[in-house]
Amino acid sequence: MLIQFVPAVRPDTIPENENDLIYNNQIPEPVTTILKTSCYDCHSNETNYPWYSYIAPVSWLVAKDVREGIEELNFSEWESLSKIDKAKELDKIIDEVSDENMPMPIYTIMHSKAKLSTEETEQVTNWADSYAESLFE
- Following DSSP, what letter does each residue of the chain receive, concatenated? -GGGGS---PPPP-S--TT-HHHHS---HHHHHHHHHHTTTTSSS-----GGGGSTTHHHHHHHHHHHHHHH--GGGGGGS-HHHHHHHHHHHHHHHHTT-SS-HHHHHH-GGGSPPHHHHHHHHHHHHHHHHHTT-
Structural domain boundaries in the chain: 11-134
pLDDT in tens, 17-47: 899 999 999 999 999 999 999 999 999 999 9
pLDDT in tens, 60-112: 888 999 999 999 999 999 999 999 999 999 999 999 999 999 999 999 998 99
* 13 has a pLDDT exceeding 60: yes
pLDDT in tens, 41-54: 999 999 998 888 88
